[in-house]
A and B are shown apart, each in its own frame.
Chain A
Amino acid sequence: MHELVQNAINGASLGSTYALLALGLALVYSIMGLINFAHGELFTIGGYTMWWTLKHGVPWPLVLLLVPLVCAVAAMLMERIAFRPLRGAGLVTLLITSFAVSYFLQTVFQIGISAAPEGIELPGWVNDTVHVGSYTIASVKLITTGVTLVALVALTLFLRRTLLGVSMRAAAEDFQTVRLMGVEANRVVALAFGLSGALAGVAALLFFATTAAVDPPTGTPLVINAFIAVILGGLGSLSGAVLGGFVLGFAEVLFEARLPGSTAQFANAFVLLVLVGLLLLRPQGLFGRAAAQSS
């Protein structure tokens, strides 16, 4: 029981990172039909922003604000420079473009910063632990889960309560018709990218607060896992992406902790096996719509 609770906390923490990244992917996908693999590099930009600001003595509360902001701006620039000229292009063109942006940015990091990992000088309190009864919990993991929940609630309120948020949900359903309502297409797309960037920034804060090192390809495996989470939740469903992220996080932690002996190194294979099983049962994902959407 004791170990299971520890596993659950670790799972929630890892799942948070996946959920935030998956939500960003799903936001952009639902509006543009683009699976943005360069999303991982936004996350990496968040890591480098942490590294640079903390190295230069920027106080950490300011870093907490700066990282999501820098990532949001980077995401909007990415949209403006790489994707807007291709508006209306097919899925494959957009997908390949996102790979190109991803590799381009990784190369920029290698040449401009370093191919080797850079250590992030975290403030001392991230290593604190709290004792609850007989449990010892790294406070950063609690913060991670808490921040994720706050970010999700804030995004939900924005999408439900503001006209711009309602426009985004409408645009996710039917982009052409939302233009008939007088909503500027470019604004909605830029906003979707900005939000997805900010979410990647929050994910980066949480992730790098535990790993404390960033190198150019850091984001790639994470964005692939986030993509798996999106598929698991149901492509295009925002709540599905979040749920998929947490399921993936829990599954990964549980398999790593529970598999006997040397089989633990195959944890990821077991995770993927479970996902294949789930998708066989529900090919549309957990929250996906059964029928194909009309375009």
Chain B
Amino acid sequence: MTVGGRSVSGPVKGPETLLRVRGLEARYGPIAAVRGVDLDVHDGEIVALLGANGAGKTSTLAAIVGLLPARSGEIRFAGEDVSRLPPEKLVRKGISLTPEGRRLFATLTVAENLALGGRGNDGARERLLELFPVLRDRLYAQAGSLSGGEQQQLAIARSLMSRPRLLLLDEPTLGLAPILVGAVFELVARLREEDGVSILLVEQNVHRALDLCDRAYVMRTGRIEAHGTPGELRARGVEAAYLGSI
């Protein structure tokens, strides 16, 4: 049983472009947060979006899913133009965002948070409780009463309830203890391997993100400054140049 991606049948295709973003611009009032971003996520890829604070990473994700209405540019998902779709429609197409800061419904129970994520379809829940066993014991606890690590797991599980093909993960390790950071990275790898979910990951933890991802984009002041495989980016000294040493 898989959470997300439909299993590929028939002739083996090359890596399909799942998400294709061209010339994406978005603003908060007068402030241009995203200034012409091009990026691709191929089917089955883990792609990291890196950059210093305020570089426009979160805004890029928000613009992709339509949370920032003042946006322009082209967004294609599985070949279909989704540039104008509001967030509620994009989830149904198969793009799910785990927002920065988790944004759980704190007064709702864990089970209710999950039910909302699947819009009443509980088909993915068993598999997710297998991936996040800690949630099984806390199903009827208020989400706000969970520990930070549990909350992050719930936030990810909630976005997976809709069985997305593409998961946008915004800072999933922010504020977590080091041991939990490792668990989140392992989970991201597992989601791709076992469930075929493609992932676009925004992450402060540059070294670990580069260890995990297939390709990475580096943002600076709203633009893509560099992109390539982790090896290429490391060879170009990107870590030190744009991200500061960690």
Contacts and interface: CB of A to CB of B under 8 A. Distances in A.
Nearest to B107: A173
Q: Which of B65, B89, B116, B158 gathers the greatest number of chain A CB atoms within 10 Å?
A: B116
Interface in A158-186: 163, 166-167, 169-170, 173-174, 176-185
Interface string A132-170: 000000000000000000000000000000010011011
A174 B105 CA distance: 7
Interface string A194-217: 000000000000000000000000
B103 A166 contact: no
A169 B105 CA distance: 9
Nearest to A187: B88
Nearest to A294: B101
A178 B108 contact: no
Nearest to A171: B105
A179 B86 contact: yes
A122 to B, nearest CB: 42
A166 B108 contact: yes
B119 interface: yes
A227 B119 CA distance: 33
Contact of A180 (B99, B106, B115): B99
B108 A177 contact: no
Interface size class of A (residues with CB under 8 A): 10 to 19
Contacts of A166: 108, 112, 115-116
B107 A169 contact: yes
B105 A173 contact: yes
Nearest to A289: B107
Given A182-B91, A182-B162, A184-B88, A176 B112 contact: no
Interface in B84-121: 86-89, 91-92, 96-97, 99, 103, 105-108, 112-113, 115-117, 119-120
A169 B87 contact: no
B139 interface: no
Contacts of A174: 103, 105
Nearest to B106: A173
B77 to A, nearest CB: 15
Contacts of B88: 179-185
B67 interface: yes
Nearest to B162: A182
A180 B67 contact: yes
Interface of A: 163, 166-167, 169-170, 173-174, 176-185
Given A176-B67, A182-B119, 8 more contacts: A166-B115, A170-B113, A173-B106, A177-B103, A179-B67, A180-B91, A182-B88, A182-B92
Interface of B: 65, 67, 86-89, 91-92, 96-97, 99, 103, 105-108, 112-113, 115-117, 119-120, 158-159, 162
